[in-house]
Structure 1
Amino acid sequence: MPGPDLKRILARATSDDDVALSETYVWDLASLFSYSPSASQAFALSFTRRFGRTKSWRVAVKCLHLLHRLLRTLPSDHPFHSHLLRSHANAIISLNPCHFRCTSDELTIFVRSYALFLDEALFCLQVTKDPSLPPPETFAKKVEEVDQAVELVSQLQGLLDRAMDCRPLATAGRSSIVRSAMKHIIRDSFMWYATLWPRLMLVLDNLFQMPHRLCIAGLDIYTSAAEQAGRLEEYYDWCKRMSLCGPYEYPLVEKIPQIQVRAMESLVENMWQLTDSSSSSSPVTFSSSPSTLTVSESGSSNCVETLKNAAINVEWEKFEEEEKPLIQFGQECADWEDLLEASVDCSWTWAPLIFDEPKERSQNNGDNGLRKHEANLQEYNPFLDHAHPHAM
């Protein structure tokens, strides 16, 4: 019977002390689940009893950390995962909502955030398809592939948000128990971000060939990725300052400029008209000033160039909207003094074009041109006539 051994291992692994969770107990439970599949159901009951009744934040964090390590240590096809999901569906294990509370508000928030993190991680889709595989042969298969990528990216973005929510507040991050749990949370975020980015690029490469529903969904995850990148980079910088994980482990967070987000939104708005026929999955051809963009299966590789052209169009339209004419229609008594003052005060975005003359010609005729210019000024300057009334 695995009952006594399971209870003993669980009690030692989640003892109420300041010692972080030992990997020895994780491997002991993994070995127990391997030769006794029924121990998975007994673990769900013992875990619920231990985590649900405790008032100690040390025991609560260790319980969640133990569950986290078991999820990552055992393979995805292990019976432990199916038993755990079944126990969650039957409300034997309840992590959301988490009703834990202790004397410290900071530690209470961390335990609840960690529980929500694991609750969402239980239902994360397993990555079963390699993005480097050959592309699908039919358009229907490509739509299905992009649809799955959109769903996976959305889930991974939610998991990254949950990982950032686990950032301990105030003095909670000084505990060795919390720091040990945070290292595994952060490493999970590395794995999720590495999985997210190729899928996001897959969606963007095929976005303009997809039906209206997938276009809107792809635009949403692209906008969310641009907003999430800044918060994720700040989160990783904090983790580095706290010496959580090695500096070499952190991935490079890809930044998405807002001008590209606005360009993508403009393209999608121009592509589709919100009518009953917008659900058609046929390729779309549309025009955008000053150039015409044709969307087809052969044009997916030009997605980046299309975004750049659209970004220039957005900036040009923004300049035209902000620029005001010197004379407003309906304005009364607009005399030449007002026009002159307006022309002097007007600020231009671009400097006028300057055409350089050849150097030899400029050097030979520089002095002659300057003297000629001064003579013209003297000839047409009325103030000189008043200063020298007899000079002719």
Structure 2
Amino acid sequence: MKLWNRASGNLKDRNSIWMASISRRSPNRNPDLEAAIIRATSHDVTYVDYRNAQRVFAWVKTSPAYLKPLIWALSKRMEKTRSWVVALKGLMLMHGVFCCKIPVMEKIGRLPFDLSNFSDGHSHLCKTWGFNSFIRSYFAFLDQRAFWLGTDTKEDEEQTQKTNESMLQELIKLQQWQTLLDMLLQIKPEAAQTNVGLILEAMDCIIIEIFDIYSRICNGVARILVKIYAAGKVEANMALKVLRKATAQGDRLSLYFELCKNLGVRNASKFSKVEKIPQEDIRELEQIINGVLEDKATVVRQNGSIEEGKGTKEGPLKTVIGKMWERFDEQLRGNKEGTGAPDGGKMTVAQNPSTATCNSRPHAYQS
């Protein structure tokens, strides 16, 4: 049965490539690009065509004119397929496109195809329900990521720090990052799937994405807390909720990485233990934030005028922030710099299709 499925998948891919080759070139169709997408999302579960995925990335980085043909071809393939292998490769390819720092990608909004109810049609449900669940969770994350974040670039983050963005806006963005992290933690394979190399390679993508988003959350929380004494009551309450959720997510991350290590996900072993926020630090920060709220409600008379009281004890707060996040940030940078060359032909984190931003992170698909 496996041999028949493989032969059938190869025949379908060849027919699709042939149909693409005879199609008429137009603003919405590019035969060469379509053929590269088909090869990069083939039915072969044992092989990922990195060369053709690289070609796809190179096209979309060359000109925005290639975006429409890319979306048309990939959407058509995703909507027609009933193979979990093709669907997963398509999601990994789309993830890589989003990470290429192409400004025009911000205009996409949500993903141009829908895999929220995907179900493999080539095997019994009892054998494929785990793959179906994995693909649905991966799709849900990418769809929300596309809707909220557009192009995921460090330059955007640095620009945000330079602008006079309100604390409320920063807190809303932090809540969005935390929601995305929750969605990422829903993407996990079953033990029976760990003998499938494609699933483990996809998980390598997810691990790096988790650390990238978690680092943004940590850095964002640190920036917010430094400015907490200038916050209003609404912002201070939101900051407290964000902090408590960051603590809970740190605990979930530790369990998630332990699970991934046990399942054989290599990148889960490349990073050190997740740096948790000590409970005593959480209590101290809660007292500081509650103190800020009390100070805001205090009316102080000075020089015959009424002024709002302001906290001035920034020293302890900065000390607590440093203890919680500086070590994690250094660890993250060190591990990212250490991800590098291919390992004997097997795809490593540096080669993973949906992990690397084409310009900011090392990647086998990088042109």
TM-score w.r.t. the length of structure 2 is: 0.66
Is the partner of 1:93 in helix, strand or coil?
A: coil
Partners of 1:61 and 1:192 lie apart in 2 by 21
CA separation of 1:306 and 1:99: change in aligned 2, threshold 3 A: closer
Is the partner of 2:64 in helix, strand or coil?
A: coil
Is the partner of 1:192 in helix, strand or coil?
A: helix
Partners of 1:231 and 1:259 lie apart in 2 by 19
Which residue in the other structure is 1:232 paired with?
253
**2:200 is the alignment partner of 1:175:** no
**2:53 is the alignment partner of 1:26:** yes
Deviation at 1:31, TM superposition (A): 2.4
Q: Does the CA contact (< 8 Å) of 2:40 and 2:50 recur in 1?
A: no
Partners of 1:76 and 1:216 lie apart in 2 by 36
Q: Does the CA contact (< 8 Å) of 1:131 and 1:199 recur in 2?
A: no
**2:240 is the alignment partner of 1:219:** yes
CA separation of 1:164 and 1:133: change in aligned 2, threshold 3 A: closer
CA separation of 1:16 and 1:131: change in aligned 2, threshold 3 A: closer
CA separation of 1:276 and 1:195: change in aligned 2, threshold 3 A: closer
Partners of 1:268 and 1:34 lie apart in 2 by 46
Higher relative contact order (CA 8 A, sep 6+): 2
**2:41 is the alignment partner of 1:14:** yes
Which residue in the other structure is 1:93 paired with?
113
Which residue in the other structure is 1:358 paired with?
none
CA separation of 1:7 and 1:176: change in aligned 2, threshold 3 A: same
Partners of 1:52 and 1:195 lie apart in 2 by 33
Partners of 2:64 and 2:209 lie apart in 1 by 26
Task: Map Cα deviations across residues 300-341 of structure 1 (whole Å, 9 max, x no partner).
Answer: 23226799xxxxxxxxxxxxxxxxxxxxxxxxxxxxxxxxxx
**2:77 is the alignment partner of 1:50:** yes
Partners of 2:44 and 2:63 lie apart in 1 by 30
CA separation of 1:46 and 1:306: change in aligned 2, threshold 3 A: closer
Corresponding letter in the other structure for 1:18:
V
Which residue in the other structure is 1:124 paired with?
149
Is the partner of 1:17 in helix, strand or coil?
A: coil
Is the partner of 1:165 in helix, strand or coil?
A: coil
Q: Does the CA contact (< 8 Å) of 2:191 and 2:263 recur in 1?
A: no
Corresponding letter in the other structure for 1:12:
R
Q: How does 1:128-147 map to 2 (within 5 A)?
A: 128-130=156-158, 141=164, 144-147=165-168
Corresponding letter in the other structure for 1:186:
I
Which residue in the other structure is 1:113 paired with?
137
Partners of 2:206 and 2:231 lie apart in 1 by 35
Is the partner of 2:185 in helix, strand or coil?
A: helix
Deviation at 1:254, TM superposition (A): 2.4
Which residue in the other structure is 1:166 paired with?
187
Partners of 1:284 and 1:276 lie apart in 2 by 7
1:187 to 203, 208, 211: 208
> How many residues matched?
277
Deviation at 1:259, TM superposition (A): 4.1
Percent of paired sites with the same residue: 22
TM-score w.r.t. the length of structure 1 is: 0.62
Deviation at 1:11, TM superposition (A): 1.6
CA separation of 1:20 and 1:277: change in aligned 2, threshold 3 A: farther
Deviation at 1:58, TM superposition (A): 0.8
Q: How does 1:1-392 map to 2 (within 5 A)?
A: 1=25, 3-72=30-99, 74-77=100-103, 79=104, 81-82=105-106, 84-85=108-109, 88=110, 92-94=112-114, 98-102=116-120, 103=125, 104-122=128-146, 123-124=148-149, 126=152, 127=154, 128-130=156-158, 141=164, 144-246=165-267, 249-250=270-271, 252-269=273-290, 271-272=292-293, 284=309, 295-296=311-312, 299-303=313-317
- Which segments of 5 or more consecutive residues in structure 2 lack a partner in the other structure? 1-24, 300-306, 322-367
Q: Does the CA contact (< 8 Å) of 2:95 and 2:142 recur in 1?
A: yes
Structure with higher Rg: it is: 1
- Two-structure CA RMSD over aligned residues (Å): 3.3
Corresponding letter in the other structure for 2:119:
R
Is the partner of 1:174 in helix, strand or coil?
A: coil
CA separation of 1:268 and 1:59: change in aligned 2, threshold 3 A: same
- Which segments of 5 or more consecutive residues in structure 1 lack a partner in the other structure? 286-294, 308-392
- Comparing 11-20 with 210-219, greater Cα deviation is found at 11-20
Q: Does the CA contact (< 8 Å) of 2:221 and 2:243 recur in 1?
A: yes
Partners of 1:170 and 1:12 lie apart in 2 by 29
Task: Map Cα deviations across residues 162-190 of structure 1 (whole Å, 9 max, x no partner).
Answer: 22111112312321111111111111112
Task: Map Cα deviations across residues 121-155 of structure 1 (whole Å, 9 max, x no partner).
Answer: 21227542449978x9xxxx4xx353343233222
Corresponding letter in the other structure for 1:161:
D
